[in-house]
Structure 1
Amino acid sequence: MGARRRPNFVRRGLSDVSSRGDGFRVAKAGGSALSALLALALLAGCGGHPKGVMTPVALAQPSNTSQVDMLVATTRQPSGDPATLFSGERSPTLSMTDVAVSIPPDSRRAPGTVQWPRKLPPNPETDFAVTRVREMASEDEARTWFRAHNKDGHVLLFVHGFNNRYEDGVFRLAQIVHDSGAQATPMLFTWPSRARVFDYNYDKESTNYSRTALEDTLRTLANAPNVKDVTILAHSMGTWLTMEALRQMGIRDGKIAPKIENVILASPDIDLDVFAKQWTDMGDERPKFTIFVSQDDRALALSRLISGDVSRLGAIDPSAEPYRTQLETAGITAIDLTKVETDDGLHHGKFAESPEIVQLIGQRIIKGQTLTDSEITLGEGITAVVAGTAKNVGTVAAATITAPVTIIEGRGTPPKQVRLNETLASDERSQRAVP
């Protein structure tokens, strides 16, 4: 098979990574990865919540709560405990479960938040609560569920990130669907994360373990006659899994299934060089891609440090050259959330915790609307930059760039060392054939 052209990544070095003056510095090049990991563990441990929330609770009638029904596919090992359902260990069998989540009235919670119970059982009037769990005994049963719930033909498939338990993905998807108002059937693909900061490498290998299962799930959705289109929303390490599954589909089938129309990569924890190769291997007919980035993302700063000091896609500055031009020529929409303020101490979940951004996902991107209008308003206090045109509407910035889908063939010499805040450019390795 002939070589395909791809955007490539050249690095220009910075000596360290910081969170822009908030007192947290990950490390200098060659610094202590262990110290950084300990710092991240402390941050991640600040806001724990009760485990074992998957046991269904009864709703009082009448109730002012909202409900989100979802289909959950997982490569996790069943835990044997109805309070957790699945563990962080790997299963060779894909399990499917029907889950319903009750969400408290809007007067009891702020948009963008998952209201975890402080004690068990949860109170549906104040907490997120599971109200139904039903294991699917067969693929036919899952198809029956889908036919009953997929009224308009639109599907939103969420792939969670690193350090997530089963219930983390369930509650996060419920929150996104509710707060975004997305008119799409929710489906969660949850892979075997041990939900421990020091198991980063185990989690990464679990995404590789799960990529064929996700590929098969996507193909099944695309082949379903009652499905019109599929939007994939992936976060953090889940973006790696998503890109690998799409890459495999592109190689195996010669193309990405046309019904997979939108791919949203939020805080993508992907090596820039690897992303370029994955992009190429998908083939020439790709879905519409949107990436959410933030240069103050602490989790991605650490990931870079422990991954050979190669910058992560989710930490680039899309308004800087040559990123800007390369994103335009690749047709990738980039939304910069660096100045968006949320309560996320790691600055790693802004896509779901900012009401304006989660509305953008549900009301614009999932509907397939291209963000090319320089008058676009993402919400009060947000600035949009579209294809080189800036529109100031407040104090918070979201830079958006999009253009037609064409890839520039790059020529040049690969750099000797990888650093942060790199640029999209070219290297001669881009001419290698797809395996």
Structure 2
Amino acid sequence: MTGAGGSGAKGARGRALAPVLAALGLLALAACARPEGVLVPVAVGDTPGTRVDMLVATTRAPSTAPGVVFTGERGDALAFTDVAVSVPADRPVGSIQWPSGPNGDPAREFVVSRLEPLQRTDIAAWFTARHGKKRRVLVFVHGFNTRFDASVFGYAQFIADTDASLVPVLFSWPSRGRVTDYVYDRESANFSRSDLAYVLTSAAASPKVDEVVVMAHSMGAWLAVEALRQIALKNGRIPAKITNVVLASPDLDIDVFERQMVDIGPSRPKVTIFVSRNDKALGISRLLAGQVTRVGAVDLNDPQYAARLERARDITVVDLTALQGGDALNHSVFATQKDIVGLIGARLAGGQDLSEEDGLVARVGGGVGMAVGSVAAAPILVFSGGRN
């Protein structure tokens, strides 16, 4: 009897692990397909395409290898870099055309056209050079398993596709870009929270900046919320210029997140969360975290989660489970699914809150219907927590 039971238990564990191992394989294959050393400035000239100028703040250690710039190890100090990325024209929304080597072809591949270190004293001048009646800054925090070059190209893709005319600031923390280094990446996010808090408060304090929107993906969501919590505990509140926080597929323990929101307090930015029950990467994270549900994979049809969210002030959850398209793991739908990219871009370009429900209850490109209701009845479920 014991042997039979043990065999059954092993079989159940094997069946549970099968999709996780498959997801890990997909992540590993995707990483192996990308060449290294591609961040070598290339002359772009009159090549058609989009130019994305971004300010990069990083806690990574610098690299001496050509075209790598920063490693996945932890640096001694926060570093700033002025980066320009050339994005080729006529490509599918949500896609990145990786350069085949250090001398990429700007006509068909993503390439870096400028990469210059900055001192902290140079940053005000960098913002001054960004034109526009209103300087709205979008600070993006990447997720787990992300090399420095992937963070730069990934953010450039999102900015080019949303076309929202925001000033892009990338916060790149020390991820080794390997699926086997989940715990290291997690500790690296913890290592970086004071530096991200500095970047956010400095942006909000700058007279060159009118508004700050924070967007964080996956494990970067934990880092972003922790940085905001640290700011709130230190200063008593979040700066008023930080108006919106967008958490895409957040790899965040739901119990921890609830406590973080309490610590941040009632005077917090509006929070929008993109979730999917089909997120395979968060399935791995849940397994590693002792089967604790991740915020990015909550089931809005489960009464216990609905009740908890109902008590949350100024939090909107957008369930993307029913959408097709995007990456193979359903972990980057916010940046790779063309309808969602278009929706986010339209909202940001118009200076609107992503958390405003009336903006989500609409039709966007591709005929995706936005509606409040069960996922079975509508492609997207929008759930808004209580408001004061």
Same fold (TM over 0.5): yes
Aligned to 1:353: 336
Q: 2:369 aligns with which of 349, 362, 383?
A: 383
Q: How does 1:115-194 map to 2 (within 5 A)?
A: 115-136=97-118, 138-149=119-130, 151=132, 152-194=134-176
**2:195 paired with 1:213:** yes
Task: Using the TM superposition, name which of 327-336 and 270-279 deviates more.
Answer: 327-336
Greater RCO structure (CA 8 Å; 6+ sep): 1
Question: Match of 2:39?
Answer: 54
Structure 1 residues 225 and 298: CA distance shift in structure 2, 3 A? same
Deviation at 1:52, TM superposition (A): 1.1
Counterparts in 2 of 1:403 and 1:304: CA distance versus 1, 3 Å: closer
Shift of the 390–266 alpha-carbon distance from structure 1 to 2, 3 Å rule, reads closer
Separation (CA, whole Å) in 2 of partners of 1:363 and 1:163: 29
The one-letter code of the counterpart of 2:69 is L
Q: In the alignment, is the contact (CA less than 8 A) between 2:301 and 2:374 conserved in 1?
A: no
| Aligned mate of 2:291, from 303, 306, 309 | 309
Alpha-carbon offset, residue 404 of structure 1: 4.5
How many residues are aligned here? 372
- Equivalent in 298, 309, 316 of residue 333 of structure 1: 316
RMSD: 2.3
Q: Pick the aligned partner of 2:77 from 67, 88, 93.
A: 93
Deviations 1:341-368 (A, max 9, x none): 2241111111100111112222215723
1:64 and 2:44 correspond: no
What is the alpha-carbon distance in structure 1 between the residues aligned to residue 68 and residue 28 of structure 2? 19
Cα distance in 1 between the residues matched to 2:208 and 2:306: 38
- The range that moved more, 335-344 or 321-330, is 321-330
8 Å contact kept, 2:164–2:346: yes
Return the alpha-carbon distance in structure 2 between the equivalents of residues 49 and 74 of structure 1: 21
Post-superposition shift, 1:218? 0.4
Q: Secondary structure at the match of 1:46?
A: helix
1:285 Cα deviation from its structure 2 partner: 0.4
Judging changes above 3 Å, is the alpha-carbon distance between structure 1 residues 268 and 194 closer, same or farther for their aligned structure 2 residues? same
Gaps of 5+ in 2: 1-9
CA distance 1:308–1:282, shift in 2 (3 Å): same
The alpha-carbon distance between structure 1 residues 378 and 316, as it changes in their structure 2 partners (threshold 3 A), is: farther
Task: Say which of 65, 70, 73 aligns to 2:57.
Answer: 73
Measure how far apart 1:63 and its partner are: 2.0
Matching residue's letter, 2:371: V
Instruction: Give the Cα–Cα distance (whole angstroms) in 1 for the partners of residues 279 and 235 of structure 2.
Output: 35
Among 156, 179, 183, the residue aligned to 1:201: 183
- Give the aligned residue type for 2:233: I
What SS is found at the alignment partner of 2:232?
A: helix
Matches of 2:16 and 2:222, distance apart in 1: 22
Superposed displacement of residue 39, structure 1 = 3.2
Deviates more, 1:320-329 or 1:211-220: 320-329
Q: Does 1:228 align with 2:210?
A: yes
Cα drift, residue 35 of structure 1: 6.7
| 201-210 vs 343-352, greater mean Cα deviation | 343-352
Contact persistence 2:67–2:102 (CA under 8 A): no
Shift of 1:323: 3.0
Moved more, 283-292 or 315-324: 315-324
Checking the alignment, whether the CA contact within 8 Å between 1:383 and 1:391 is kept in structure 2 is no
Q: Percent identity of the aligned residues? A: 44
Relative to the length of structure 1, the TM-score reads 0.80
Give the partner amino acid of 1:353.
T
The superposition leaves residues 317-338 of structure 1 with CA deviations (integer Å, 9 ceiling, x where unpaired) of: 2244343354344231111111
Relative distance call for 1:80 and 1:252 in structure 2 (3 A) is same
Cα distance in structure 2, aligned partners of 1:81 and 1:274: 39
Offset at 1:37? 5.9
CA contact (8 A) 1:150 1:226 kept: no
Q: For residues 31 and 247 of structure 1, what CA distance do their matches in structure 2 show?
A: 39
1:29 touches 1:309 (CA, 8 Å); kept in 2? no
* Contact kept? 2:37, 2:101, Cα under 8 Å: no
Displacement after TM superposition at 1:92 (Å): 2.5
Distance between the aligned counterparts of 2:177 and 2:131, measured in 1?
Answer: 31
Q: Please give the alpha-carbon distance, in whole angstroms, between the structure 1 residues aligned to 2:361 and 2:20.
A: 42
Q: TM-score by structure 2 length?
A: 0.90
The Cα of 1:147 is off from its aligned counterpart by 1.6
Per mean C-alpha deviation after superposition, the further-off stretch among 300-309 and 336-345 is: 336-345
- Report the 3-state secondary structure (helix = DSSP H, G, I; strand = E; otherwise coil) of the residue aligned with 2:357: coil
Does structure 2 retain, via aligned residues, the 8 Å contact 1:384–1:390? no
**Residues 261-340 of structure 1: pairs in structure 2 closer than 5 A:** 261-330=243-312, 331-340=314-323
Task: Indicate the residue corresponding to 1:12 in structure 2.
Answer: none
